[in-house]
Amino acid sequence: MSTLPVRQVRHDSGVLCAPTTPPRRLPGIGDLLKLRSNLLNAIQYAAQDGSELSYFAVGPKRMVFVNRSTAADVVLSDIHTFGKPNAENPLRLVLGDGLISNPYHDQWLRRRRALQPMYSRPGLAGMRQKMADVIGEHTARWEGRDRTELRVHEDMLSFALDIVARCMFSRSGDTVSGVLTPGTISFLLEFVERRLRMPLSLPVGVPSRRNREFTATMRGLDDLVHRLIRERRRTGERHGDLLDLLLEARVGDAAEPLTDVEVRDEVLTTFVAAYETTASALTWILYLLACYPDVQRSVREEVRSAAPPTTGERQGSTLLECVINEGMRLFPPSPTIPRQVGKDVFIGSSEIPKGSFVMLNVAAIHRDPAVWERPDAFLPERFMNGVPGKGRFLPFGAGAHMCIGKGFAMMEMSMLLASILDKFEISQRDSTGPAPRAMLTLRPREGFRLTLTRI
Ligand code: HEM
């Protein structure tokens, strides 16, 4: 592993810098405006005075932000008290009872065990060629010219969607497009986000313009996914993709296959889980590589001289993986992780009433000065000896609910970044960096570009 010069640069680029909006609480709706207009700003407020916990209210909803690693540890260690959000979770409107949104612990656990082989070493090995094909197609588009302007977030969204479409259905993003497009997924996530932040929402059955669009979009998606499941079951063809593995998964002691509805839930869950998160991580990592040409050079040397990227189990063992981890520390793709408390409980000396939402404030935890030396600096080498334990480094969560697709994501990101670094120099086009905006994922507030120059 090459040794990097110590960098003193403070890299906040708006994350956890001084918040801009004064906290304002309005009668009846509480902190709604604060949370809706700029969640990141609210997250920053929550963390800025150094307190472990901070409190928000949106109508009847009570939210507790957990800003420090010690308190995050408490939450992550008790999966029964701090469970997934309950059955009212608006994500269920899209993902049903897939792994992310399943509120029933025992059912979730049986499914999690059934799906584990999909993301095991042999499961992932089967995805490597599919990923390589998609990477080849995307980099070929940039190779035609000496210099390419990368529309970073848009291009990474398109890349991440192609990867998940190819790995799930052995089809390109284009074949499923028209239905499963970046636009559709963004619309659905925004629909869910609005409902998460509003104190009250109209039932989906009420034919407002937005609800009608939602219902039509979901019908299109359901038709597509059920058609693909039926075709696969009817022909019995195997494609070595995630859909094959889902159909082969067996649940519980009776080793029952998943029903069509359960397969549909997991297909949509995988699309939603794998798409914006990976695109967000890649977007910020490319940006950081452009900001730090010395790191870029060292990773390029490593990529050109070293073994192929790993599946992520050996985290911290390559400089490329260190860069990915440090990128996700500074710009966590999922800036908050939600839980809902099943009974009155204490975190430290603070009592949290049953039903409250507990949001792990990952953006703040990743810069907890009690854990991270020079928390605002970009120092990939801090991960050389691996990642710190539960509660401290949470890009993929931790504990029983930890991201099941972590190995998949690390493999995909390592392969794409290695390929880009081998062929191109990445540089900034503008001196001002992109400002982040927190939705369910951390996105750039506006589109920004980087230059890829062929080398
Ligand atoms: C950089 C990319 C990714 C990031 C940052 C990420 C992050 C996360 C986070 C923070 C969670 C929540 C953990 C919790 O609730 O404690 C999660 C859960 C999950 N992720 Fe990922 N994820 C990524 C990629 C993927 C991919 C590629 C897949 C699938 C191919 C995936 C599938 C899932 C699933 C199914 C869950 C629910 C796990 C459960 O509760 O059992 N994710 N992810």
Say how many C-beta atoms besides its own lie within 10 A of residue 223's C-beta: 11
Q: How far is the CA of 16 from the centre of ligand 1 (A)?
A: 23
pLDDT of 45-80, one tens digit each?
666 667 889 888 777 778 899 999 999 999 999 999
DSSP strand E in 205-307: where?
A: 250-251, 256-257
> Ligand 1 centroid to 259 CA: how many Å?
22
Residue by residue, DSSP assigns 5-68 as PP---B--TTTTS---SPP--BTTTBTHHHHHH-HHHHHHHHHHT--SEEEEEETTEEEEEE-S
* Ligand 1 atom nearest residue 338's Cα: 15
Helix (H, G, I), strand (E, B) or coil at 228: helix
| Centre of ligand 1 from the C-alpha of residue 428, in Å | 30
Buried/exposed code over 310-340 (b: 16+ C-beta within 10 A; e: otherwise)? bbbeebbbbbbbbbbbbbbbbbbbbbbbbbb
* 213 CA from centroid of ligand 1 (Å): 27
Give me the pLDDT at residue 20, please: 47
CA distance 62 to 60: 6
Task: Report the atom number in ligand 1 closest to the C-alpha of 76.
Answer: 16
Atom of ligand 1 at shortest range from CA of 112:
41
Q: What are phi and psi of 451, to 5 degrees?
A: -100, 135
In ligand 1, which atom is closest to the CA atom of 270?
Answer: 29
- 411 CA to middle of ligand 1, Å? 14
Report which of residues 139 and 39 the model is more confident about.
139
Residue nearest to atom 11 of ligand 1 (CA): 403
Helix, strand, coil proportions of the chain in percent (round to 5)? 50, 15, 35
Is a pLDDT exceeding 60 seen at residue 11?
Answer: no
- Range 276-281 average pLDDT: 96
CA of 280 to the centre of ligand 1 (A): 13
pLDDT of residue 329: 95
Tell which one of 396, 412, 439 to mutate to probe ligand 1, the residue whose CB is within 8 A of the most ligand atoms: 396
One-letter identity of residue 192? V
CB atoms within 10 A of CB 209: 7
Assembly ipTM: 0.99
Question: For residues 450 and 28, is the Cβ–Cβ distance under 8 A?
Answer: no
3-class SS at 98? coil
Binding residues: 403
Q: How confident is the model at residue 30 (pLDDT cuts 50, 70, 90)?
A: low
Residue 90 confidence (pLDDT): 92
Average pLDDT of the chain to the nearest whole number: 86
In the reported structure, the alpha carbon of residue 395 is separated from the centroid of ligand 1 by a whole-number distance in angstroms of 9
Helix 260-291 × helix 406-423 angle, to 10° = 40
List of domains in the chain:
32-454 (1.10.630.10)
Q: Whose CA is nearest to atom 28 of ligand 1?
A: 405
Nearest CA, atom 43, ligand 1: 403
Both tokens of 367, joined, read 């810069």
Residue 37 in this model has a pLDDT that exceeds 80: no
Instruction: Quote the tokens at residue 294.
Output: 């010395």
Mean pLDDT within 136-144: 92
DSSP lists the bridge partners of residue 53 as: 66
Distance between CA atoms of residues 278 and 281, nearest Å:
5
Give 105-130 pLDDT, tens digit per residue. Answer: 999 999 999 999 999 999 899 999 99
Nearest to 181 by CA among 201, 203, 209, 161: 161
Distance 179 CA to ligand 1 centre (A): 23
What is the four-CA torsion angle of 281, 282, 284, 289, rounded to 10 degrees?
140
CA dist., res. 364 & res. 67, Å (int) = 6
Residue-level pLDDT at 317: 73
Rounded to an integer, what distance in angstroms lies between the CA atom of residue 105 and that of residue 99? Answer: 10
Cα-Cα-Cα-Cα dihedral of 260, 261, 263, 269, to 10°?
160
Q: Using the predicted structure, report yes or no on whether residue 413 has a pLDDT greater than 70.
A: yes
Atom 40, ligand 1: residue with shortest CA distance: 401
Residue 312 predicted with pLDDT over 80: no
DSSP summary character for residue 387 = -
Which residue's alpha carbon is nearest to atom 13 within ligand 1? 397
Please name which of 371, 441, 336, 402 lies closest in space to residue 64, comparing C-alpha atoms: 336
Question: Which atom of ligand 1 lies closest to the CA of 119?
Answer: 30
Ligand 1 centroid, distance to 75 Cα (angstroms):
18
Q: 218 by DSSP, 3-state: which?
A: helix
CA dihedral 307, 314, 321, 68 (to 10 degrees): 180
The greatest distance separating any two alpha carbons of the chain, rounded to the nearest whole angstrom, comes to: 62
Contact yes or no for 122/244 (Cβ under 8 A): no
pLDDT of 239 above 60: yes
> Which atom number of ligand 1 is nearest to the Cα of residue 410?
1
Using CA positions, which residue lies closest to atom 17 of ligand 1? Answer: 403
Query: In 310-405, which ranges are continuous DSSP H helix?
Result: 319-330, 362-365
pLDDT of the residue at 45: 60
Calculate the dihedral angle through the C-alpha atoms of 190, 192, 194, 198, rounding to the nearest 10 degrees: -170
Beta bridge partners of 147: 453
User: Which residue ranges make up the annotated binding site for heme?
Assistant: 403
- Amino acid at the residue 409: A
pLDDT, tens digit (0-9, with 9 covering 90-100), for 149-182: 999 999 999 999 999 999 999 876 655 656 788 8
Question: Which residue ranges have their beta carbon within 6 Å of ligand 1?
Answer: 99-100, 112, 269-270, 273-274, 277-278, 281, 333-334, 337, 395-397, 401-405, 408-409
Predicted pLDDT at 308:
54
Radius of gyration for the chain, computed over Cα atoms and rounded to the nearest angstrom: 22
Backbone angles phi, psi at 66, to 5 degrees: -100, 110
Instruction: Tell me which residue has its CA closest to atom 32 in ligand 1.
Output: 405
Which ligand 1 atom minimizes the distance to the CA of 412? 27
Distance 189 CA to ligand 1 centre (A): 15
Tokens of 427: 């540089």
Residue predicted with more confidence, 201 or 308: 201
Kindly indicate the confidence band of residue 415, based on its pLDDT and cuts at 50, 70 and 90: very high
Contact predicate 280/274, CB 8 Å: no
Nearest atom in ligand 1 to the alpha carbon of residue 100 is 37
| CB neighbour class for 168 (10 Å; exposed up to 12, middle 13-18, buried from 19) | buried
Probe residue for ligand 1, chosen from 403, 404, 414 as the CB with the greatest number of ligand atoms within 8 Å: 403
Structural contact between residues 452 and 139, judged by C-beta atoms closer than 8 angstroms: no
> Which residue minimizes the CA distance to atom 30 of ligand 1?
405
Vertex 85, ends 357 and 399: CA angle to 5°? 95
- Helix segments in 347-392, DSSP class H: 362-365
Average confidence (pLDDT) over 9-19: 46
Q: Percentage of the chain with pLDDT > 90? A: 65
In sequence order, which residues have a C-beta less than 8 Å from that of residue 122 and are 6 or more positions away? none
Dump pLDDT digits (tens) for 313-372: 554 479 999 999 999 999 999 999 999 999 999 998 999 999 999 999 998 899 888 899
Provide the token pair at 182.
Answer: 């970046």
